[in-house]
A and B are shown apart, each in its own frame.
Chain A
Amino acid sequence: MNKPTQRQGLLIDASKKIKFTFDGREYEGVAGDTIASALAANDEWILSRSFKYHRPRGILTMAAQDANTLVQIGNEVSVFADRHPISEGLAVRAQNVSHSARKDRGFAMNRFSRFMPVGFYYRTFFKPKGIWERVWEPRIRAKAGLGKLDISKPTEGYYDKAYGWYDVVVVGAGPAGLAAAIAAADAGASVLIVDENPIIGGALSYARVKTERDLVHEAKVHPNIEIWTNATCNAWYADNWLPVIRGNRLYKLRAKQVILATGMIEQPSQFRNNDLPGIMQGSAAQRLMRLYGVKPGKRAIVLASNDDAYGVALDLLDAGVRLVAVCDLRRSDLRGPNRDELKERNVEILDGWCVWDAMPEFGHKHVQAVEVAELDASGNAGKIRLRFDCDLVCMSVGYVPAYQLPLQAGGKLEYDDVSARFTISGQDDAVLLAGSVDGFFDIDACIADGFAQGARAAANCGLSISNLPARPARSSVSPNHPRPIFPHPGGKDFVDFDEDLQVKDIKNAVADGYRELELVKRFSTVGMGPSQGRHAALATAMLVSKETGRTISEVGVTTARPPVTTEKIATLAGRKFTPMRRTPMHEHHCAEGASWLLAGNWMRPAFYGQGPDDKKIIADEVRNARNNVGMIDVSTLGGLDIRGPDATEFLNRMYTFAYAKLPVGKTRYLLMTNEAGTVIDDGVACRRGDQYFYVTATTTGVDRIYRNMLWWNAQWRLDVDIANVTAAYAGVNLAGPNARKVLTKLTDDIDVSAEQFPYLAYREGKVAGIPARVFRVGFIGELGYEIHVPSRYGAELWNAIREAGQEYGIKPFGLEAQRVMRLEKGHVIIGQDTDGMTTPEELDMSWAVANSKPFFIGKRSLQIRGKTLSNRKLVGFSLDRMPTSGLQESNLVVKNGQIAGFITSITCSPTLSKVIGLAYADRADANLGGRITLRSSDGSQHQAEVVAPHFYDPENKRQEM
């Protein structure tokens, strides 16, 4: 165990103790520890269990790149234990375990692995028919998945998003990234460095490298550089749009230039039991030691294929770890400063040897020994073997470039099988690569490339660079071994740790005919786990290339899609923006106990008051409007000012009716069809002047209609101005037999007598002292006035009408009552009583179509459609009473067992004391007195009589009084 007081690491403060629990057991860590480092300091190496076989898994990368370290904290699943800091009282649990990470009953699955070959899902569970749905799927779903999420709990924490803009965004704060940032910033660019680690420096912070300049300090103090640590650039999108996750905030960044200095991802070697706790990447061991002051083991073996491995070996020695041996996969090109230094430290170095088998402790809880083998001439494990007791195996056999972002930016990854080198090319012009991701492995070359690319990015931003430095030569020696894979006849030589896929699984996938990498991926699920193939893609490509006799470059890699790493749904959701609109009378509606409903994004009162029976409340509102006087807030109604010399012509083209002869001071119904002749909106045109119409549109349709108008007139070029003034006017519909009496009390300058202000007339004047546009309408079938005033005075208008109407028993009514009354009157609601095919003729509204006009939108289509009428017609229907099974909108109209139409509106009329409605029915059944069959949701059928849709006051005496 690492005693806290002895620990020294860049990220920790050993003087500050922190207690936390893992699977219910208490541990002590120190400030700055991650969960994984603190557990490792306590000699607790098992962090999780593998997906299929429940094998113990521990630290692999210490870089939040692998699924081994995923744990659950509270209701948050799949948290990287090697990234998440500990805090006092933090309760951490292992995922995907039966009991705990230490004692997982699911480990029994390890014995049955031979019964679960690659693709066994596809072959095993589909017979007999139906067994998948009934038996297997529920069981597999119960076993699958990482962590347990209680979806009844709200999301913890506050998540939101923000935009950001920079000249240059550098992804990766390693040596190349820092150099690039400094160079770009020196040239005057605004630079942002994004790095997922808690400190900048990348390999400088944990690896055995030395530099002349203190790049970390230079970047930190540079006035043009902003540094975001613990920040993940999770994708690259067109035009350098970068989503960067920083804490609970998702930043949406735009950069003129992006420099990807994402570095390399160290790769594991494949040998038997290569997944045991205690077997990790060399860089992981270095991170544990240098960043967290944790000794990763007592007796170590280093598996080497580059000089970095010898840096790991030296670091282990410096940390007091006994280095048992270094097995170098190479036999030539062995020189390197670290190797030279190690040679002087009296350590056994076996050149041309591999690790062949790792022996576990009881229960596979840790590595306790390895068998190493001398490589034969073909590079395979030979017969000469040695056994070493050890509790730590460090693998440093090569890297792949962190290619996800470069490939998302359009880059293409190439691999030279001979030199074992990757190249990336062809990415977006505004994306530069810098450092080891682009093949600059030597630290000096890596930094020099960073400076060169930073200067280039600044120049691309238009900044002045006097001497643009050339990129240095790429390193001559690759750190990658061409095939560090040593299949074992006993298997358990894992290629993909996430999915428990072994070497034979990949081979068998190819043998089954899946020769292409994308197919191997889908068949075997390799690369589909949380690590997204970071440590499996290259090994898989190597295996597929060998099995198919092609080069790795020919095999390629699978498509790199966003996101680069895990991201929370809460991060994507962020703070919800759901625009809602309120009328100026909203507070009055609240005071009167309104129940709300949404009309588009408007909040509208559905009805007023609370009670056990909503229908009774609505019926009372209807009765009061019919018998006394009611008022409804119609501020949501769309309003458009159409002005100019061509205003009349414009309306004539936009709408089906004719407006040239509409006198000033009169209104006329508006019906709009689209190019196909389908009804899409209606409203009223009020003629304010020769060249001025105030046009209403439906609440939910007005924005679309406004856009339509602008779009059409961009082509017609009529001399007309179109303004959407919906929000600028508040409106009240004052309706009922006593409406005139109420209005009379409120206006001095408008003569509201029937003679001077008849039905469909338009007047302007002051109502309650407020300048108003007033017009007589009959939507609900009663004497009615629509009064529109500037929004700022809407509340005052409402108050005034309410007060003036008191003596007549005025009551507000909501949208529900309005819908009932308009149905009683037989007025259609566009969108409810129409669909994507409805023509005016189907609605019996041909009277609103002026065919004599030379043009209106939809005219030609209507002429064509008029030659062959549809089979349906909107009809009124009635029933004496509502069936017990109920009938509702969208219930079908059936005829001879076929669908003939559907109900569009239905209500129990409080005025007529029967059920009335509108429905599309067979045209042949549209005659008055006919019968149609309505089908309830429970399948029962009911006969209804076809009647005129003008159920109430068919002679219009009440609305025209």
Chain B
Amino acid sequence: MSFGTFFLRRMLMVIPLLVGIVFVTFMLIRVGGLDPVGRLAGPTATAEEFEMIRAELGLDQPVWVQFAIYAGKVAQGDLGESWLSNRPVLDDILERTVISLELLLWGVGIGALIGIPVGVRAAFRPDGRFDQISRILSLFGFSIPTYWLGLVMLFVFFYLLGWAPPGIGRISLMVSPPDFITGSYLIDALLTANWPAFGSAFSHMVLPVICLAIVSAAPIIKHTRAIALEVLSSDAVRYARASGLPARIVRKLVLRNSATPVLTFVGTEVTGLVGTMSLIEYVFAWGGLGQYGLNAIVRGDFTAVQGYVLSLALFSVIVFLIIDFVVFLIEPRAELQ
């Protein structure tokens, strides 16, 4: 199967998933039985005014018609308006995406750089001291509430030691942000050689990234270990040992055969960590999509919540697609699937 055919087939399979995603986000508000009309109409509205607003919002139609209207709007990129920001939700989301991606990719990237080698090393000597310590640490990492970790870090590194900035935003208020190129302060400052901005952006980034890295490393350690253990007990590795291949080559064989499942897991992990990232953004007032979404949830801005949940689901779909394509390209066996 050529890459082109595979690509087309995979894209076609996504369509029902997208419909499902739009349906779930649509239902999100309806299960609550929340009444957006009351909020829009205000406490002094008359019964007629209520009805008018209901009709305006399409709430007097049957559910499936409402869904069709909603889906049609989403397809055109109309996610409604946020009553918190008084702007189209789509605009709010688009301008915050890069800000969040920057945090997410650094955090998960560093988490993977820690987690993968630790997991592999633990698997090579199951029940050895390294394995036991890394297992306890990973279970512990699983159990730390992200937001609490962020708060403790702020206390230690800002209040006690004074090493870190106070954890408000992505750059110091005294420094003017770099000119807009990509949306990432770090990259933009680098591209425009704006060193004060780069320094400030970097120092603001350290704590949230470390937080996310710690929390994302835990599951990566656990799963990398499990995957490598599985490969280690596979026929191929047992045969490699029976053929007297040197330990170095056996190790390489294990690493290569673990690569695809580990990559798949880390990719999945990226999508799962979006929730954790949102909490970190909330604590550090990061100003990205995550903080926007949590604010919307807390304050009851449900149009924005819908847009937020929808964009996270779309992000997952895109990541899963990328993983599938990469796996197809690097796996000799992929043609069989």
- On whether the two chains bind one another, the answer is no
